[in-house]
Chains A and B, each alone.
Chain A
Amino acid sequence: MMNINQQRKILNYLSKGLPICEEPYKALAESSGVSEAELLSFIKDLVDSNVISRFGMVIDHDLVGYEENAIVVWDIPDDEVDQIGALLGLQEKISLCYHRQRQLPDWPYNLFTMIHGKTKHDVITELNKIVSENGIENYACDVLISTETFKHSEARTDW
């Protein structure tokens, strides 16, 4: 059984990063005083219980050519937004999918998705594919392609 200090230490290590080597969990298990099996089942519990949302490698999309992104906004009737939001959230090239408050009369859109691609053309092609595959041609939508980045920082967690 792990104590709270061991759990904290492991969580801290997992957020900083593990080494890429044949047995990446071994050193952490040893230095935390737990068996590798205990460590692995602890990480599994963290994922299953959603304490951590993902375990794996974090990729810099810009460096692999995915430099373009667009916020695509939709005007979806309130009683359908949950269903369509859940559907669009599953798409491979959509990273964010939120129901946001409309701001009438200036802003009628209530569903926000972020679509990524290598070029603007790719983003639009992907959008068209998502629209036709999910049968959402009849909802008003607007595309906000980014043309310049003024600030892009990691979300602050150091309050």
Chain B
Amino acid sequence: MRLDLQARAAPSRTIAIAGPILALLAAMLIGAAVVALLGKSPAEAFMAYFVAPLSESWSLQALAVKASPLILIAVGLSFCFRANLWNIGAEGQFTVGGLAGGWLALATRDGAYQGTFGGWWILPAMLVLGAMGGVLYALIPAILRVTLGVSEILSSLMLVYIAGYGLDYLVRGPWRDPQGFNFPVTANFDPEATLPSLIADGRLHAGILLTVVAVLLAGLVLSRGMFGFEVRLFGTAPKAARFAGFSERALTLAVFAISGGLAGLAGIAEVSGQIGQLQPSISPGYGFTAIIVAFLGRLSPFGIVLAGLVLALTYIGGEGAQVSMKLPLDLTGAFQGVLLMCVLAADVFTRYRVRLVREA
């Protein structure tokens, strides 16, 4: 027996939309089987993972706060993936963004450098620095690729580890809060360096607005602009793109800069709006989960918003299920991996007719 793939004349639009939904359902079924294997009730787990977080105001806010960085990073990654370039180091660019913006927050603490102008400029400058940090860090693998042909996959991933150790060093060493009882954290950021809450006493911070703007801009660029066309052309027909006179180097640098910049922005928004200081770990793997978000959202900005909410749900639901059902947190990671596999499998059905053939 073998699988027979027949190319469709044009990708199926029905399956393109139904695919991710069916993939999600398939992943849920597999997840339910694993939960049953662990000796727990799949129905109860489903409620804990996918329903309970939607039932209360605080958990809805937590959902938005978790989804925001995922969506922001995934929107950037969609540019790379559309062009068939593989930035898998968004986690590192997120970290460097948090570091670059966090540095300014620490440097301006207690009114430093605020004499003449006041403190209004600090937050915008932190966001710019965060994005710049992500851009520069993402340009390392991009430049290595266009000048020397170094695989961007491996170099961008190695840089994740290096950024992680850099953050660890800074918060345990030079940037540690002298009044912090030896905890490996920096001082808390001043209010001038903290993204404000959108709701009084709520968790929902202004970083969400950045994500909304980024999604709208990306939607505009990808559907209307020449640049969006160029990105897609390089992904699907690189020879045609070169023949049309588009520069592969410029495009590689551009999509890496975009994805790095958005990841860096997500990093500083998380540090400034959510954590309020720098600590040895500032991300539960957002940079990697965002890869799943990008694919589940079929690399389209609005699909990514939905996908980001789904993946954020698995984070919040996973924490809830750990408390209420004693389900291990690793279940979330395994589920995310299965989900990506199902999405990729579903993607095949949009491009091919798949039949199981019995060999004669």
The answer on A and B forming one complex is no
Identify the B interface with A (CB < 8 A). Answer: none
